[in-house]
Structure 1
Amino acid sequence: MSLVAIGACYVDTILTTPHYPGEDDKLRASKISRRRGGNCPNTLEVLQQLIAHDPSTAGVSLDLVTVLPAESSAASQQIQAAFKPLVSLSHSIYRDDFQEPASSYIIKSESSGSRTIVNYNELPEMEVEEFKKVADRLSNASWFHFEGRIPAVTLSCIHYLRQQYPSATISVEVEKPGREGLQDLAEEADVVFYSKGWAQGMGYQTPEECVQQQATLTRKASLLCCTWGQSGAVAFETSAQSLAHCPAYSSADFQVVDPIGAGDTFLSGMLYALLCRGDEWSLSQKLGFANRLAGMKVSQEGFSGLARALESFL
């Protein structure tokens, strides 16, 4: 079993502040931290923990396909080292003329618990022909997961996989509100993960409404999931017309500490459940595990130690 995740990789600089600064304001941050970010990299960071914690998944391999600066650059070397030994970046695309990675600068407000993100990326994006070469080298992969980043390119990549490797499972993250082309990606995928922001942008009032209405459009999809913040998440199996809802994870001493990457962590939980647990877990169990994992992430800084979520499930 092998999973290939395709998406952007960022280096995040996170400033924690008492509140958001106003225009032309000066504000002292209470904390600074730096870590590798990006939707697919975050998902793989947690997924590799789960696989390492579960002896029955020893045969699962993970690949990240992303655009990075020159392979010899300090940034690329650090990113590669951070993923060893379970996630391979050997099939990523390296831009020899660049030394700086894509970067995010995040202001996290202590008063509101929310965050504002400013991105910077001078790396040329992945082209369809580049992906085709990568896909051919990964022809034995059983699952391809795409961040819905550049829909036109991603759609061509999915079409290539459908033509050349029809047995591969394809999942897509539909996240960014107002981004044109995401609906087209959903209609070509086997598994679709919707965000609350995208769903509300499309006029859906609840996660149930989102997945059930989308099921009439996504004829190829076997599973649709939609996260809804504090209201939990919903999953819909199209063949059985089975709907599952799971409330957001909570505990007696639960506090929101770091919401950055919660959605990516939810994806880790669902991908683990789908890849490694299969029919062993019910849809409700899969959804419950993904929600628990995401809730545990929100209650701590960063992504370390999240494999402990498995202790109550295995």
Structure 2
Amino acid sequence: MGQFVAVGNCVLDTILSVPHFPGEDDKLRASNITRRRGGNAPNTVDVLQQLFASDDEADRTIGLNLIVVLPNRASPAVQEIQRSLGSGKAITKSIYREDYFEASSSYIIKNLATDSRTIISYNSLQDMNFEEFTQIAGSFGNEAVWYHFEGRIPDVTLNCIRYLRKSAPDVKISVEIEKFPREGLEELVPEADVIFYSKIWAVGNGYKDAEACLRAQAKLAPSALLLCCTWGMQGASVFEPATEAYYHRAAWVSKDSQVVDTIGAGDTFIAGMLYSYLAPNNNWPVSQKLEFANELAGRKVVQEGFAGLGGLVHRGLQQ
């Protein structure tokens, strides 16, 4: 069995839905509160678990793993994170800070009037360092077939990727280029096989649309398999350097539903693209990979959280 490894940050999210954004020193009653596990890499692994579980042929072909920094193994926070990922096996290779008992946390104010999301984060846990990563990566041996990096701490991430290129030259590597401004992210691009760009990063760097971003960035990674960019309600795009083919899909929209929860839509898109490479019958053309991931992300935003997405998309594609 091959192993997929996602490297990133795991958080506990508290989401408050409010009728409008509060002013300083205001008092405001929230209409809803949701608490759930978050973090880009854990969200992606969560959806991947569902996709593989819904595919009888793929279920036993690959193990899904998370390398994230967590507090004390016995802490309530870790127990909650384990429950959120089903069996909890995904985090067995993670890094534990035994002197801490609070996980990284985010408090998200969801403005129902504008659908904006204001995020306040708290994290007392020291980030993963290069030595910790190499120790864990070495434990996978030659079983690891794909590493996905969130694009946090770019200098450490760059060293981790270069280590893998030497120690496991056949492994595939994907990176997420999301936060702006965050220095050093662009240096990761030439090292990766698949790159995921966010609209926030693209706009922050002066690109007017997804196509402009992908065509320009492809010059930094001419040997990459694929470059992807999500653009909110305008959909998603991909560019294949080998063929110079560009594909775009408008956002998938359900006729019977409305937007409910956009938090994690990008993570869900990434899960869809990664699944299209990792599944046993992964000989889909690029346009089909994009179609699948785009629909998966579209189905996510019309529901709260991630539950049941894998089965919904597989059934949808069969219709």
In the alignment, structure 1 residue 273 sits paired with structure 2 residue 282: no
Q: Is 1:84 the counterpart of 2:86 in the alignment? A: yes
Match of 1:55 in 2: 56
Give the aligned partner of residue 308 of structure 2. 305
**Does 1:191 find its partner at 2:165?**
no
Moved more, 147-156 or 243-252: 243-252
What is the alpha-carbon distance in structure 1 between the residues aligned to residue 245 and residue 267 of structure 2? 24
TM-aligned CA deviation for residue 220 of structure 1: 3.8
Instruction: Describe how 1:140-155 pairs up with structure 2 within 5 A.
Output: 140-155=143-158
Aligned-partner Cα distance in 1 for 2:184–2:107: 26
Deviations 1:212-252 (A, max 9, x none): 11111123422100111111111111112121111100122
Q: Tell me if the contact between 1:188 and 1:220 (Cα under 8 Å) persists in the aligned partners.
A: no
Deviation per CA, 1:241-274: give whole Å up to 9, x if none. Answer: 1211111001222311111001001001111111
TM-score, normalised on structure 1?
Answer: 0.97
- Note the 1:126-141 alignment, pairs <5 A: 126-139=128-141, 140-141=143-144
Counterpart AA for 1:24: D
Question: For residue 126 of structure 2, what is the aligned residue in structure 1?
Answer: 124
1:70 match: 72
1:247 aligns with 2:254: no
Distance 1:84 1:90, change over 3 A: same
Cα distance per residue 1:178-217 (max 9 Å; x no partner): 1100100112111100001111111111111111111111
Q: Which deviates more, 98-107 or 215-224?
A: 215-224
Change (3 A) 1:277 1:175: farther
Give unmatched runs, 5+ long, in structure 1: none
Moved more, 197-206 or 34-43: 197-206
Query: What's the offset of the Cα at 1:283?
Result: 1.0
Deviation (angstroms), 1:66: 0.2
Give 1:24 deviation, angstroms.
1.0
Q: For residue 278 of structure 1, report the CA deviation from its aligned partner.
A: 5.6
Q: C-alpha distance in 2, partners of 1:180/1:215?
A: 19
Write the mapping of 1:1-314 to structure 2, written as runs, cut at 5 A: 1-58=2-59, 59-85=61-87, 87-139=89-141, 140-276=143-279, 279-307=282-310, 308-314=312-318
CA contact (8 A) 2:57 2:280 kept: no
SS of the residue 1:106 aligns to:
strand
Shift of 1:107: 0.6
Check conservation: 1:61, 1:86, Cα contact below 8 A: no
Looking at structure 2, the residues matched to 14 and 279 of structure 1 have their Cα atoms a distance apart, in angstroms, of 36
Q: State how many pairs are aligned.
A: 314
- Give the letter for the 2:195 counterpart: V
- Counterpart-to-counterpart distance in 1, 2:117 and 2:274: 26
Q: Which moved more, 1:275-284 or 1:213-222?
A: 275-284
Aligned residues of 2:72 and 2:99 also touching (Cα < 8 A): yes
CA–CA distance in structure 2, aligned partners of residues 277 and 199 of structure 1: 33
1-structure distance, mates of 2:280, 2:22: 46
SS in 1 for 2:144: coil
The one-letter code of the counterpart of 1:77 is Q
* 1:283-304 Cα deviation digits (max 9, x unpaired): 1111011111111111111111
* Contact 1:48/1:86 (8 A) holds in 2: no
Q: Does structure 2 conserve the Cα–Cα contact (< 8 Å) formed by 1:231 and 1:248?
A: yes
Measured on the aligned residues, the alpha-carbon RMSD in Å equals 1.3
The alpha carbon displacement at 1:87 in A equals 4.7
Contact 1:44/1:87 (8 A) holds in 2: no
Gaps of 5+ in 2: none
Partner Cα separation in structure 1 for residue 258 and residue 268 of structure 2: 17
**Partners of 1:202 and 1:293 in 2: how far apart?**
27
Distance between the aligned counterparts of 2:132 and 2:282, measured in 1? Answer: 35
Between the aligned partners of 1:152 and 1:208, the Cα distance in structure 2 is 27
Structure 2 CA distance for aligned equivalents of residues 7 and 99 of structure 1: 19
> Do the aligned partners of 1:113 and 1:256 also contact (CA within 8 Å) in 2?
no
CA separation of 1:81 and 1:254: change in aligned 2, threshold 3 A: closer
Q: CA deviation at 1:277?
A: 5.8
